[in-house]
Structure 1
Amino acid sequence: MLRISRIAGPAILLVVASVAVIAGLQYGGGAVAPILLDPGAVVRWGLPISKLVVNVGLAATIGALLLAIFAMSPKHDEYSLTLDVAAAGAAVWAVASAFTGFFTFLSVRNQPIDLTNAFGDVLASFLTVTELGQAWLATVLIAAVVTVLCFAVRNPTGLAFVLVLAVAGLVPMALQGHSGGTEDHDAATSAIFLHLLFAALWLGGLLAIAIAQPTLTKKRLTVVLRRYSTVALISFIVVSVSGYVSAEIRVENLANLLTPYGILVVVKVFALIMLGLFGAVYRNYAIGRLESSRPKSRGWFWWIVSAELAFMGLASGAATALAVTPTPVPEIVAADIPDSSSAAYLTGSPLPPPVSVSNLFTLWSFDLIWVLLTAFAIFFYLAGVWRLHKRGDRWPIHRTVFWVSGMVLLFYITNGGVNVYGGYLFSIHMLGHMTLGMMIPVLLVPGAPITLVMRAVAKRTDGSRGAREWLLLIVHSRYLATIGHPVVAAGIFVFSLWIFYYTPLFRWATTDHVGHEWMTIHFLATGYLFVQSLIGVDPSPHRPAYPIRLLTLLATMAFHAFFGLSLMTGSGLLLADWYGAMGWDTGVSALQDQRIGGGIAWSVGEIPTISLAIAVVIMWRRSDGRDTVRYDRRAERDGDAELDAYNEMLAQRR
């Protein structure tokens, strides 16, 4: 029975998922022949089924890769087998993506298949010219490269980069499908990306454990399950929240839950609830019983795993059917927006109310990625502090206050009024930029998160790498040693401003959601790196003398002020066809608003810099005080032997 249950787990996932997607297509009408331009039954049914295989393949890839670099030990056979699962999943992902791209082409172009050069030219044009074709071509290429790397790379550090590449392969997929109306496009894209990623980590991790279990002893199995359960809990939360956001955009009200699309959403929610119950059973009962049971009495556990994989198959099949089922809420394109302003056509959203102090603090445009990131960052930080408290260790309260304040400010900047108006007014955009790059890091760095992880997270002894080991590896890496030097960090911080605003990067970050997310991450990271190099408490490969830190900071202030002045005195408008074409009657021209943004860059950006200068001076003074005390104590112990030796040396030179 135990052997059957081991085989049944992965098999039942595929069987239930296939049945669910076929039933979902039949019920929701996702495979119904259109009145005009029917691509044929093979395409109508083959496209969603191939997408299901894509989802299973990418889940096996991403979930197994994370499990290998986070939970598995290279010292045991489990590691190699898990990587084999990742490689096989990536191969399935690549092949299924190729079929999906081809079926998509047949569906969109309604092109009959033949072997003529004309058919090949049309297919090549679709894959290289259209956004939809480019997305599937990119997915195929990324999956193929990941397949090769999973076979070739076995070092955990190298596999971390392979995992990053695999996650990047989800971006083209997140930009497709039901992305919501134009106004909700950014929110829907973020929700789909998070849903794909964490569903893959959840499903793929469990699938990898089920396949690799012959190599796991009872002791190793319990260790791996405890580590996986943390990933599964986080995934459950993210999948639930992102699923709710996606459903809210497309269903909108309770009455629409009675539509075919709504019923499929209910089925998926039911599967998700059951999976949450399975997770609770794991954490509160199953793992503990597994530790105390006899070595060969694990059959009941693998039946639970098989049942959980069955519900994962149900959720995957329902999700695939939802992707091709007509939504009860029609998508609204820019031309249908009641607001007739040019701003509505450019941004896809109606104009917000005029800017005011109250609107900046009462209007919200939530970005799910940053909502979850800030929430998790605060939770895990407080959990680490609580762990230290329970074992009797102290953690300075001011560090906790700094960290929580920084995360709250980050939450506001990425979701509040600044995010609402940043796409319409350059001055508000610059306010957000300066806060991201200067104010938030000044709050986060004194929180010393790396030091907290070092103290709160136990060191692993089985050769695997957890959060503590990965952070130590990054901190002591040559790359961080190079970019973490104050001079280099200051150069990156300053020249990023000029490169960003005077190259096509600014347009990409303003007009594209992916570019906007990149901008937020980049300037937050460069600001954090710069502040850490000056006043950081966390371990750092460089601790330059305080005069060097102060001179670097003063030079940075000068370059920063020059950047602000260049915007204040400039006569050319950045992104004239965007900020200059909004047609928003605010009483201030676009060029004047840009000059206001330059003033913000100069003034608001300098306030945190001055605070940094004061902090460096205080740290310098305290360091000198500690050195003086240390010198006095040594002089008391040895009778000031160092001073006597120095005087004797001077006497000999006379």
Structure 2
Amino acid sequence: MTPAAGGRGAARPTADAPVRAVALPAVGAVLCLGLVAVALAGLLTGVGRPSQIADPGAVTRWGLPVARFVHHLAMATAVAAVILAVVAVPARLGPRSRQSRAERAEKARVERAGTSASSASGEHPLYARTLQIAGISSVVWTVAAVVVLVLSYSALAGQPLSADENFSAGFLGYVQSIATGQAWMAVVIIAAVFATLVFAVRSPAGLFFVAVLGLGGIVPMALVGHSGSGDDHSAAVNSLGLHLLGVVVWVGGLVVLALLSPEIRRQAAALTAREQGGPEIVGTLLRRYSVLAGLAIATVAFSGVINADLRIATLDQLLTTPYGIMIALKVGATLGLGVVGWMNRSWIIPRLAGSHEGAGAPSPSALPAGDPARTRAVTGLLWQLILVEIAVMSAVIGVSAILGRTSPPVSEDLPPDATPARILTGYDLPPEPTVGLWFSQWRFDWLWVAIIVFLAAWYLYSMVRLRRRGDGWPVMRAVSFLVGLAVLLWVTSGGPAVYGMVLFSGHMIQHMTLTMVAPMFLVLGSPVTLAMRALAPRTDGTRGAREWILWLVHSRFSRVVTHPVVAAANFAGSLVLFYYTPLFGYALEYHVGHELMNVHFLLTGYIFALVMVGHDPLPKRPAHAIRLVMLLATMAFHAFIAVALSGSESLIQASWFGNIGHDWGFSAIEDQQRGGELMWGLGEIPTMLLAVIAAVQWSRADRREMVREDREADRTGDAELHEYNEMFARMAERDAPR
């Protein structure tokens, strides 16, 4: 980190107390405010009152929301600590760029020998402390998840906690057969594995996968409760999942920063004593967290509004029902927290950070050099605001723990006259499809909406940033990328998503557009190249977005999946594995299976298009001739599968498509045959376009090579050609008869 602004002879803050810290008891005290919120919300909603039919007892009535509160807080802290260790906290002392090959070899030798990484390989104290917080909170997360699992069965069965056989047998059936029990058992397993790996893994690359595992704990939580049984199941699950993701990053990150406060103070004091800009370590860490927090608060607000709209039908229900009142309190708290976060971002952090990361970035520091009192005042206000945020967040999590036990105003039960389509898909049967309805029918998949909005905003921001810096970026690449995002939005939320659940032909349109059309436009936008040019590199031992992208591009995994044979086999073979195995049924029946299907086909199509026509860096790109051969082979394989489907008399997933009950259009088997024909057309046309693009790129590459050779010949006087002719002359002279 660079020193704070000021001349060489300017006085620097003294090492005794350059920054303030938060007392850990104060953090514990503000977190306990959540328990007060649990009690007040429980009294408001009547959760703590005995049940008239089957009362599980006071321990379960009050213990379950308290356990859920502890679970949510511990999970957020554990996962956020690992995320900060991966992207914001340096793993080693000293800049990573200055670490020599000998030092890296010594570190590997020490780790193989089993020596402590902290003492022998120079592990940064902030990094070690962050992982310690992650380890302790992950253990609390695991224990709390077990308690929630047991108490949720007690509440569902209406039985007080007991050690008798009936309770144990019922609990076993709950875990094995009931969706809520299965989901919480999955959370227990994820938390236990996460806690084990946090104590075992020390490298940032390994912790990256640990963080992904921890975030995976959000999935089973989003699938149960009101989202699992309410109307518009997909929107409810996706919005709740996004909501939990934002809460984990936002709330957990703030708690981790507060718990890191004493160690941050010690590191700042040490840096100030060495005249290396002590207060900057606080500003740099907070600036990196504030980027994550800004995205998190937008996600929380966006997803919260969507989820509340599904649960509350009228404004009157928002103001008169206990569920609506708690939603209103959460909205007010979120707005207040957003104001506090904006104060931190716009006023405090610039006064603590000595400089922005990246070459050529201007310094925002307004901290007077040699004024330790000003530094103490700014950091003191900073931690006070953080404590206020944690207190409000803790109260909101306490309210959420009660909210999950409160019935919303909108009924969660299917209507008694539900149609077969409503029973199978959760939605009423759409009207008979026409050309116009394919583009006017929308059912927003909020997970993909959030991803698409983020990618579009990032791409435009990066392009503008390059242009302000004086660098250009082709407009047609931006147009191509945005068109690809628009196609992705349509295929995941428009007509293909609506009709893909009730018609095989609709599903085939969704599938082929997702894997053939959208990736082609996205790849031609060259997003990785744009990221490499727009993102600033880090030199303080941490890995930002740029470093992680480079790590992924040059990883062994990337070398395998982008190998031409693997990419083509994955792209073409996925069709057979998906449609002729139970995977198709899982994608239709289960929401997680449907989203994984979307991710898989988008990624396989993207990797295949990247290998064929992309400009982004790859470990190894095949020759142009090989690309054309692979594209022609893919076209032939698609045609073979399409002909098999269009001529088949056996209905795929008959229990689903045969029972939808639509009284318009083709029969189920005729619609499947039509889907095979659509597969042929939607597969061959984009593949032919890829072949044309690959041929044009081959021609341009040959032209560039010819221009290069001509310039080389002009520079050397055709030395290579003369040498080539002289070689033939020597061969002729040697072979001539004597």
TM-score for the superposition, normalised by structure 1: 0.97
Alignment of structure 1 residues 194-273 onto 2, 5 Å:
194-216=242-264, 217=268, 218-257=279-318, 258-273=320-335
1:86 alignment counterpart: 134
1-10 or 626-635: which moved more? 1-10
Amino acid at match of 1:256: Q
Q: CA deviation at 1:488?
A: 1.4
TM-align CA RMSD? 1.6
Instruction: Check if 1:189 corresponds to 2:237.
Output: yes
Q: CA deviation at 1:609?
A: 0.5
Conserved in 2, the CA contact under 8 Å of 1:403 and 1:447? yes
Q: CA deviation at 1:457?
A: 0.6
1:636 alignment counterpart: 714
Conserved in 2, the CA contact under 8 Å of 1:180 and 1:250? no
d(CA) in 2 for partners of 1:493, 1:144: 35
Instruction: Check if 1:285 corresponds to 2:285.
Output: no
Conserved in 1, the CA contact under 8 Å of 2:55 and 2:159? no
Alignment of structure 1 residues 10-21 onto 2, 5 Å:
10-21=27-38
Alignment of structure 1 residues 460-475 onto 2, 5 Å:
460-475=538-553
1:480 alignment counterpart: 558
Give the counterpart of 1:620 among 698, 702, 706: 698
SS at match of 1:326: coil
Alignment of structure 1 residues 114-125 onto 2, 5 Å:
114-125=162-173
d(CA) in 2 for partners of 1:461, 1:413: 41
d(CA) in 1 for partners of 2:168, 2:74: 27
SS at match of 2:708: helix
Q: CA deviation at 1:181?
A: 5.1
Structure 1 residues 618 and 193 mapped into 2: Cα distance closer, same or farther (>3 Å)?
Answer: same
Conserved in 1, the CA contact under 8 Å of 2:180 and 2:225? no
d(CA) in 1 for partners of 2:288, 2:160: 50
Conserved in 1, the CA contact under 8 Å of 2:57 and 2:159? no
Aligned residues: 651
1:68 alignment counterpart: 85
Q: CA deviation at 1:416?
A: 1.0
Conserved in 1, the CA contact under 8 Å of 2:56 and 2:161? no
Instruction: Check if 1:111 corresponds to 2:159.
Output: yes
Deviations, residues 59-101 of structure 1 (Å, cap 9, x unaligned):
0011111111111111231111111111112111100010011
1:306 alignment counterpart: 387
Give the counterpart of 2:654 among 576, 589, 595: 576
d(CA) in 2 for partners of 1:337, 1:406: 42
d(CA) in 2 for partners of 1:545, 1:355: 44
d(CA) in 2 for partners of 1:381, 1:32: 53
Conserved in 2, the CA contact under 8 Å of 1:62 and 1:167? yes
Conserved in 1, the CA contact under 8 Å of 2:21 and 2:262? no
Conserved in 2, the CA contact under 8 Å of 1:12 and 1:309? no
Alignment of structure 1 residues 320-359 onto 2, 5 Å:
320-333=401-414, 336=415, 338-339=417-418, 341-359=419-437
Structure 2: which 5+ runs fail to align? 1-16, 93-123, 269-278, 354-366, 733-738
d(CA) in 2 for partners of 1:266, 1:344: 31
Amino acid at match of 1:356: T
Q: CA deviation at 1:348?
A: 2.2
Instruction: Check if 1:402 corresponds to 2:402.
Output: no
d(CA) in 1 for partners of 2:349, 2:334: 21
Conserved in 2, the CA contact under 8 Å of 1:337 and 1:349? no
SS at match of 2:658: helix
d(CA) in 2 for partners of 1:275, 1:141: 33
283-292 or 478-487: which moved more? 283-292
Amino acid at match of 2:81: A
1:144 alignment counterpart: 192
d(CA) in 2 for partners of 1:231, 1:271: 19
SS at match of 2:133: helix
d(CA) in 1 for partners of 2:556, 2:408: 51
1:448 alignment counterpart: 526
9-18 or 541-550: which moved more? 9-18
Conserved in 2, the CA contact under 8 Å of 1:445 and 1:536? yes
Give the counterpart of 1:176 among 210, 215, 224: 224
Q: CA deviation at 1:148?
A: 1.0
d(CA) in 2 for partners of 1:4, 1:72: 18
Structure 1 residues 400 and 508 mapped into 2: Cα distance closer, same or farther (>3 Å)?
Answer: same
Structure 1 residues 165 and 449 mapped into 2: Cα distance closer, same or farther (>3 Å)?
Answer: same
Conserved in 2, the CA contact under 8 Å of 1:65 and 1:159? yes
Q: CA deviation at 1:606?
A: 1.1
Q: CA deviation at 1:215?
A: 2.5
SS at match of 1:183: coil
2:145 alignment counterpart: 97
Conserved in 1, the CA contact under 8 Å of 2:231 and 2:310? no
d(CA) in 2 for partners of 1:519, 1:102: 33
Conserved in 2, the CA contact under 8 Å of 1:337 and 1:350? no
SS at match of 1:64: helix
Deviations, residues 402-428 of structure 1 (Å, cap 9, x unaligned):
011110111111111211111000101
Instruction: Check if 1:166 corresponds to 2:244.
Output: no
Structure with larger Rg: 2
d(CA) in 2 for partners of 1:653, 1:28: 99
SS at match of 2:226: coil
d(CA) in 1 for partners of 2:307, 2:163: 41
Deviations, residues 154-176 of structure 1 (Å, cap 9, x unaligned):
11110011011111112111111
Deviations, residues 534-558 of structure 1 (Å, cap 9, x unaligned):
1111111112111011101111111
TM-score for the superposition, normalised by structure 2: 0.86
Amino acid at match of 2:711: R
Instruction: Check if 1:497 corresponds to 2:563.
Output: no
Structure 1 residues 112 and 337 mapped into 2: Cα distance closer, same or farther (>3 Å)?
Answer: closer
Conserved in 1, the CA contact under 8 Å of 2:516 and 2:687? yes
* Fraction of identical pairs, as percent: 43
Conserved in 1, the CA contact under 8 Å of 2:179 and 2:224? no
Q: CA deviation at 1:4?
A: 7.9
Amino acid at match of 2:198: C
1:32 alignment counterpart: 49
Conserved in 2, the CA contact under 8 Å of 1:268 and 1:314? no
Amino acid at match of 2:593: G
Q: CA deviation at 1:299?
A: 1.6
Structure 1: which 5+ runs fail to align? none
- Normalized per residue, the structure richer in helix is 1
Conserved in 2, the CA contact under 8 Å of 1:202 and 1:232? yes
d(CA) in 2 for partners of 1:255, 1:23: 22
Structure 1 residues 326 and 32 mapped into 2: Cα distance closer, same or farther (>3 Å)?
Answer: farther
